[in-house]
Structure 1
Amino acid sequence: MSDLSLGDDAVAVNSLRSGVMRLSRRLKHQRVDESLSPTEMSVLGTLARCGSATPGELARKEHVQPPSMTRIVALLEAKGLVRLEPHPDDRRQKVVTRTERAESMLEESRRKRNAWLAELCEGLTDEEWATLRAAAPVLEKLAET
């Protein structure tokens, strides 16, 4: 990509950032369980995408300090959304696994957010919708880096 400090690329990057941030904030308001913080929901989402993990692995994936993740995991465990199991190779560690209750809640949350987003997309032209469909894998790629 060319130098982003000048020209159309900088404008496009700014527009992309702004649009993604605003859409993300609006999607976060489409929550099923208002008692969970966005961070708690994010941890459950990471467990759904990546599978069980140690608190240290979750802290790295979520970009938080390990003591913060320990508190988040304790809150999720108290709510019955995760369970701690012995690590198969290291008895000093635990593995965090989401519960069936968390899986159900995440599925309901995905349905609600997808329905909200689908309703928004109904206002797009066929060309805009085709562009957005084509951009979805690229946005996923950016989110994973």
Structure 2
Amino acid sequence: MTTNLTNQDALQLVVAVHRLIRSLRQSASVRRLQPTQLLVLAELASQGPMRIGEIAVRALCSQPTATTVVTGLESGGLVRRESDPADGRATIVELTGLGRETILSLAHGEAELLSDRLSRLSAEELEALRCATPLLRRLADPATR
């Protein structure tokens, strides 16, 4: 059986995902960061040190925006720039200990809040979400865009 999703269906999914993330972030009692800052920290935590250009690609922003975000994170002690060992003219950005603690704290806080909300769902609804998680991860992966 093939089900065709309409643009309206896709829009409803986008709105629902944005509302969920926003509600989790507004409820979290951790350090407040902008969405792009959070995304950059998460990418550095999962992928390791990278150049600004790669950060821009992964964060879906321009290189000047990525530079501004990294500068803000750097001034907050969450990331640091180091010389790229492969090319002394370039720099790479890496998480500091505080940056790693911040992203983990945020992730754990949001996960706890979401877990509480999930506990109110039926077994069938939970199974549907379990099945949807790998698909959402795949849709979010830059390699599949």
TM-score, normalised relative to structure 2: 0.87
Q: Distance in 1 between matches of 2:73 and 2:11?
A: 36
Q: Give the CA deviation at 1:59.
A: 1.1
Q: Aligned pair in 2 of structure 1 residues 3, 125: CA closer, same or farther (>3 Å)? A: closer
State which of 73, 76, 87 in structure 1 corresponds to 2:84.
87
Tell me the distance in 2 between the aligned counterparts of 1:131 and 1:64. 32
How far apart are the structure 1 equivalents of 2:108 and 2:126? Answer: 20
- Superposition map of 1:1-145 within 5 A: 9-10=5-6, 12-29=9-26, 30=28, 32-34=30-32, 36-144=33-141, 145=144
Larger Rg: 1
Unaligned runs of 5+ in 1: none
* C-alpha RMSD of matched pairs (Å): 1.8
TM-score, normalised with respect to structure 1: 0.87
How many residue pairs get aligned? The number is 139
Q: Percent identity?
A: 32
Look up the equivalent residue of 2:111 and give its one-letter code: N
Question: How far apart are residue 130 of structure 1 and its match?
Answer: 1.1
Asked whether the equivalents of residues 28 and 38 of structure 1 are also in contact (C-alpha less than 8 Å), the reply is no
CA shift for structure 1 position 31: 5.4
